[in-house]
Structure 1
């Protein structure tokens, strides 16, 4: 039986993922107040998002390839949390935009140490047939941050100003640091079978294709999510008063999709869930092209959140099944990088198409990207031994 302390490990790591996710997305909520306070152009806040995403995408695999070989998971997570907390305090005290930009880079470096290490530590603490469930718990924190990080940051900004919002996130990071010191094991040794059970080497080709599918899936989703508010209001006709409820519904469905992934991943298989996610999202994107109205449009978009989060845990289970345990942290770091690159690609595509063509084209563009992702995923399946 698991001890109470070992049961707390995935939940502690979930809090860390929530802090990272909220840190990365909080600028979307505090951006207007921040740029006014620092007398900076409104569009400058976008550079803060880009700086975090680009730094994280580059730093995560490099950190695992270098430090991950010599430093224990507990020490990597603690060090990353110290850096993240300090960067959030630095952000709250920044007097110039350039200083704020450097603080965002530092925050991404801290997050790059925490996120992939957390996933690898979590799956090393349970038998192999529970990987999907424990990954779903850990990434529930990031899912909650994805759907709730911006509203939380916006609400905190209204109460305490944007600097107060940063301090509040720093307090959450400090709480995670304390829990990490209390509950995380001193060494992340495997509990999922002897070396004889390790997968045979499949080289670089198959993992690379699976990672490309991650990038495509996130790009397809954020081709719609990036302008979710505008899509709901202008395309589906959701009123300003009902918009928060529509976004809340989106968040609830996203959390439900992550929970379903945790429950089903180890029961029906990771591959089945990945294809279910892609297929259901494709159907919903096609339905979005119909004249739905406010309620149906909100419901379909919320369904996209369910289908999208259904993908995360099983996709990571597929990846770690392709490589030996000593490479789990590295492959999960690369998956995190692919996710952030996908978010950047999808968001950029959405902004460009909305300006040049109109909001109505976004579901079509997302479907095209998703179709390419399906083809890539099919190729990954045929490449596996």
Structure 2
């Protein structure tokens, strides 16, 4: 039992890492409010899934386009400026997104908001890898993702009730956009609060300036290409599915906003222990043997979700896909830092973010039109198929490269 929770004592980490964990709590809270409520807000403005798909697609496109420049510059100036910028940009753009209603301005704000994704997702793994001891990297990443899951769990429950609260305070029905707009302002404020813990972070000289064994060898093209292909498949899969889960529950299963919040709450209830146990599972079975079969199961659940017509089946499939992602995502992140020399960490993370976000954006753009034309089943089948392909690529390329964790 002690082995399962090895490395989860926060005193094992320096002040920078602990401050980074504190940064995540309000940031993920603001992100969860936006994620749960914004598409529902757009439906109350009269927009359909095709426009929602365009909005959902622009943010990851921007993240993907800015990922490589962000990685290059952050190697020179450090991670802290970009982490601060991620919270600031997120807050300002969220205010814009829930204040203006003009179609063109909404698209502009959605694109600018996406740059914050590049700032945070390119730098979170390098920051933790540089500030945590090598034997604690897997646990540091797992703690970070557990904070994300736990925060999303709590906020999904609270955020689902926020429009009702705002509507009661303003004496406006929740069929109108205003209660959702006021609730989204709360998310913007939380993103600003997230900047406070980062102010005390001490900038460190990157440990990657010191040559380590293996960095004198040829550039690991095969590894980079493989992770690029895996990220493309995972990103497109996410774009075809994730932005539409809340609208799917509302439109296809006819759930109310508080019930949708409850569904997302349950998904995070199962995600937290899955993320915490992921390093122990990887130690027991190996990273590849953990990721591949688990991801295949998740892909099948995602396909089945598209054909669900009852809450029970839809909830079961949704929870299973959440568990799979909670186990496989941190395991893959840690594995990527172990098979690539530290001199290439930022470039690898930039590649993974670019490879993930641009296909996610393009898939979201296409998904909105596919849903209007064919229904949700078509996009969820595409999402599940692509997720399975990512597992096949990972197994084919890395099956002989198990790393001690």
> TM-score, length-normalised on structure 1?
0.78
Which of 202, 214, 227 does residue 210 from structure 1 map onto?
A: 227
Tell me the distance in 2 between the aligned counterparts of 1:83 and 1:290. 38
Change (3 A) 1:111 1:23: farther
2:96 counterpart of 1:78: no
Counterpart in 2 of 1:32?
43
Tell me the distance in 1 between the aligned counterparts of 2:152 and 2:367. 18
Gaps of at least 5 residues in structure 1 are: none
Tell me the distance in 2 between the aligned counterparts of 1:73 and 1:345. 28
Gaps of at least 5 residues in structure 2 are: 1-10, 167-178
- What SS class does the counterpart of residue 84 from structure 1 fall into? helix
- What SS class does the counterpart of residue 186 from structure 1 fall into? coil
2:184 counterpart of 1:174: no
Q: What CA deviation, in whole Å up to 9, does each residue of 1:241-271 have, x standing for no partner?
A: 9665444333322333323324444565432
> How much does 1:59 deviate?
0.7
Change (3 A) 1:201 1:4: same
The residue correspondences of 1:1-385 to structure 2 (distance < 5 A) are 2=12, 5-6=15-16, 8-15=18-25, 18=28, 21-22=31-32, 25=35, 27-33=38-44, 35=45, 43-65=50-72, 67-94=73-100, 96-143=102-149, 155-160=161-166, 161-182=179-200, 184-187=201-204, 189-190=206-207, 195-196=212-213, 201=218, 203-220=220-237, 223=240, 225=242, 227-228=244-245, 245-265=262-282, 268-282=285-299, 284=301, 294-344=311-361, 347=364, 354=371, 359=376, 364-381=381-398
Change (3 A) 1:342 1:142: farther
Q: Per chain length, whose mean CA-contact separation is higher, i.e. which structure has more relative contact order (CA < 8 Å, sep 6+)?
A: 2
> TM-score, length-normalised on structure 2?
0.75
- What SS class does the counterpart of residue 89 from structure 2 fall into? helix
> How much does 1:56 deviate?
0.9
> How much does 1:121 deviate?
0.5
Would you say the 8 A contact 1:91–1:100 is kept in 2? Answer: yes
> How much does 1:323 deviate?
2.8
> How much does 1:164 deviate?
2.6
Would you say the 8 A contact 2:235–2:356 is kept in 1? Answer: yes
User: Across the two proteins, how many residue pairs are aligned to each other?
Assistant: 378
